[in-house]
């Protein structure tokens, strides 16, 4: 984290605008809590939201292209400078990016008032601008190895535009929903597949462990291709037998990758262990989604989607947000009691939300409980980590 410390020492402006993870992680956490706080009542028709989207589409869009986009931006705006050796996006350009993201959330929320086309245009500005900024940094730094990350961000921006177009034409956006969700899942496999074994190796090596994670190699690259193909099939033909088969195969292959990283040995360090849990739930999500394609009468699609969305994405993003905030603000990489409660809350939200699908007679109470656990996780992050994000560490 030396480079992060050097950057912070040279930054003279507000801490919040010093590095990309600061505004975007904080905004993501607050938004995730607020959006889910109103969701159950909106879903039941107890309150009205002035959005042009039907309730489910608003919920899905804002979790994927609202919350998800903010976390991706916060991570990449912090990681890319370390990849390229260039200074980070900071100051007014970072403030502009955060403002564009906020404008998108307001526009989508009030899209019935300003019109769906205007809301779509405003909402699309953030991801398009972020894709351009990311491409500029990667190209200027000649960091060709990570150019594929920029390509994924560009696809994410296209999926967001596709969501607006599909919702306007068809009254729903199931294809774009699968595309957006698939892109975030793929990013977890791509980036998580490197940082999880890397952080695990570092932790184990400090303790003189003899069994270390297997580094990324040709088998991992082949599994990434299989996973990408399975996700693409799911986007275009979600109910086909070959799609379900490919998803199950990808899930098993990624579980095999995870088994090679010796995660159980890190069980005494929750900051490392939770990364393995997030990758585990993402891999299991492939199995659930594959089962929903192969046996739709036995495995509801909603259960599979929430294993990915709440379990895989929710857990992995909180794992990255907590670790990155501690590390890049110059603090010790130790999971406090509050941090461990955050992890427990997101795991509880996963279990409760999936259980709601299989226990229809208790669905709404379980959904409410899952929402409460989700809100607790993200409010917990905002309370515990907000002060770190709003001021520079005394150690820098």
**What is the DSSP secondary-structure string of 94-153?**
HHHHHHHHHHHHHHHHTHHHH-HHHHHHHHHHHHHHHHHHHHHHHHHTT-GGGHHHHHHH
Residue 217: partners with Cβ closer than 8 Å, 6 or more residues away:
none
Asked if residues 20 and 87 have their Cβ atoms less than 8 Å apart, the reply is no
Asked if residues 101 and 70 have their Cβ atoms less than 8 Å apart, the reply is yes
Average pLDDT over residues 92-112: 97
Q: Enumerate the domain spans of the chain.
A: 1-172, 187-391
Is the predicted pLDDT of residue 392 greater than 80, yes or no?
no
pLDDT at position 193 is: 93
pLDDT at position 4 is: 46
Cα separations in angstroms, 117 against 55, 111, 113, 157: 18, 8, 11, 16
pLDDT in tens, 139-191: 888 777 888 888 999 999 999 999 999 999 998 899 999 999 999 999 999 99
Cα separations in angstroms, 106 against 31, 91, 254: 11, 23, 37
Is the predicted pLDDT of residue 383 greater than 80, yes or no?
yes
Residue by residue, DSSP assigns 259-306 as HTT-GGGGTT-HHHHHHHHHHHHHHHHHHHHHHHHH-TTTS-HHHHHH
Distance of CA 193 to the CA centre of its chain: 14
Of the candidate ranges 279-293, 305-319, 379-393, the one whose mean pLDDT is the lowest:
379-393
Among 194, 317, 304, residue whose Cα is nearest residue 247: 304
Residue 212, token pair as written in the block: 């270390």
Asked if residues 378 and 33 have their Cβ atoms less than 8 Å apart, the reply is yes
Coarse DSSP helix, strand, coil percentages of the chain, rounded to the nearest 5 percent: 80, 0, 20
pLDDT at position 168 is: 93
pLDDT in tens, 285-307: 999 999 999 999 999 999 999 99
When computed from its CA atoms, the radius of gyration of the chain, rounded to whole angstroms, is: 20
Backbone angles phi, psi at 187, to 5 degrees: -60, -35
Residue 274, token pair as written in the block: 């939770």
Asked if residues 58 and 49 have their Cβ atoms less than 8 Å apart, the reply is yes
Backbone angles phi, psi at 32, to 5 degrees: -60, -40
Cα torsion 232, 282, 35, 105: sign:
negative
Cα separations in angstroms, 227 against 195, 217, 250, 281: 18, 15, 5, 15
- Cα–Cα distance between 55 and 113 in angstroms, integer? 16
CATH no. of 187-391: 1.20.210.10
Of the candidate ranges 2-6, 131-135, 330-334, the one whose mean pLDDT is the lowest:
2-6
Backbone angles phi, psi at 293, to 5 degrees: -75, -40
pLDDT at position 11 is: 59
Q: Give the per-residue SS3 of 314-330.
A: HHHHHHHHHHHHHHHCC
Structure-token match 């190796």, residue found: 201
- Cα–Cα distance between 165 and 117 in angstroms, integer? 9
């Amino acid at each position: 984290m030396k480079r992060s410390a050097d950057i912070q020492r040279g930054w003279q402006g507000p801490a919040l605008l010093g590095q990309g993870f600061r505004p975007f992680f904080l905004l993501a956490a607050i938004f995730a809590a607020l959006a889910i706080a109103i969701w159950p009542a909106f879903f039941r028709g107890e309150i009205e939201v002035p959005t042009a989207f039907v309730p489910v589409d608003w919920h899905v869009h804002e979790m994927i292209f609202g919350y998800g986009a903010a976390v991706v931006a916060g991570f990449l705006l912090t990681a890319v400078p370390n990849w390229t050796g260039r200074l980070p996006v900071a100051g007014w350009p970072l403030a502009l990016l955060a403002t564009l993201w906020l404008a998108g959330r307001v526009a989508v929320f009030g899209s019935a008032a300003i019109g769906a086309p205007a809301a779509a245009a405003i909402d699309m500005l953030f991801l398009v601008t972020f894709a351009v900024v990311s491409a500029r940094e990667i190209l200027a730094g000649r960091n060709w190895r990570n150019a594929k990350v920029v390509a994924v961000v560009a696809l994410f921006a296209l999926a967001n535009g596709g969501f607006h177009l599909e919702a306007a034409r068809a009254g729903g956006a199931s294809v774009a929903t699968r595309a957006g969700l698939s892109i975030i899942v793929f990013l977890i496999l791509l980036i998580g597949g490197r940082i999880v074994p890397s952080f695990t190796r570092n932790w184990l090596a400090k303790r003189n462990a003899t069994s270390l994670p297997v580094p990324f190699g040709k088998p991992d690259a082949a599994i990434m291709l299989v996973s990408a193909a399975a996700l693409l099939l799911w986007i275009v033909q979600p109910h086909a037998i070959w799609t379900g088969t490919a998803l199950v195969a990808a899930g098993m292959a990624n579980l095999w990758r995870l088994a090679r990283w010796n995660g159980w040995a890190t069980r005494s360090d929750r900051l490392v262990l939770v990364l393995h849990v997030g990758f585990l739930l993402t891999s299991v999500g492939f199995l659930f989604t594959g089962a929903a394609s192969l046996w739709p009468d036995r495995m509801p699609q909603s259960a599979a989607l929430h294993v990915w969305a709440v379990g895989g994405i929710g857990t992995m993003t909180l794992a990255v947000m907590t670790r990155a905030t501690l590390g890049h603000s110059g603090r010790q990489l130790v999971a406090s009691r509050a941090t461990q409660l955050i992890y427990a809350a997101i795991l509880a939200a996963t279990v409760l939300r999936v259980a709601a699908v299989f226990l229809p007679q208790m669905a709404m109470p379980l959904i409410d409980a899952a929402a409460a656990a989700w809100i607790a996780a993200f409010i917990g992050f905002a309370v515990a980590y907000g002060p770190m994000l709003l001021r520079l560490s005394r150690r820098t």
